[in-house]
């Protein structure tokens, strides 16, 4: 079990931090007893964002396929005139 290096407490919490002179917020994994920062991670969960982006990309690809199909049908109708 991981212990805090400062107070030996077992237990963590996440806190939003804004490092001085930094452009981005970050999330700090802190000891839930003394508040020491034990590690940091991205402010936004990058993996979850990528997953969301992949779902959106898939929807856009599907919509483009549908649009191509309809445009093809319109072109066929126009050729028959």
Site residues (CB under 5 A) for Zn ion? 4, 6-7, 9, 31, 33-34, 36
Q: How far is the CB of 18 from Zn ion (least distance, A)?
A: 22
Q: Which of 31, 41, 43, 44 is nearest to 5 (CA)?
A: 31
Contacting residues for 35 by C-beta, under 8 A, at least 6 apart = 15
* Residue among 9 and 57 whose Cβ is closer to Zn ion: 9
Between residues 34 and 49, which has the closer beta carbon with respect to Zn ion? 34
Terminal CA-CA length for the chain: 77
Name the residue nearer to Zn ion (CB basis): 19 or 35: 35
């Amino acid at each position: 079990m991981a212990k805090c290096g400062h107070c030996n407490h077992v237990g963590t919490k996440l806190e939003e931090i804004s490092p001085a002179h930094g452009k981005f917020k970050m999330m700090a994994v802190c000891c839930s007893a003394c508040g020491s920062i034990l590690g940091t991670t991205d402010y936004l969960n990058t993996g979850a964002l990528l997953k969301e982006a992949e779902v959106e990309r898939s929807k856009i690809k599907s919509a483009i396929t549908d649009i191509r199909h309809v445009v093809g049908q319109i072109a066929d109708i126009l050729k028959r005139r």
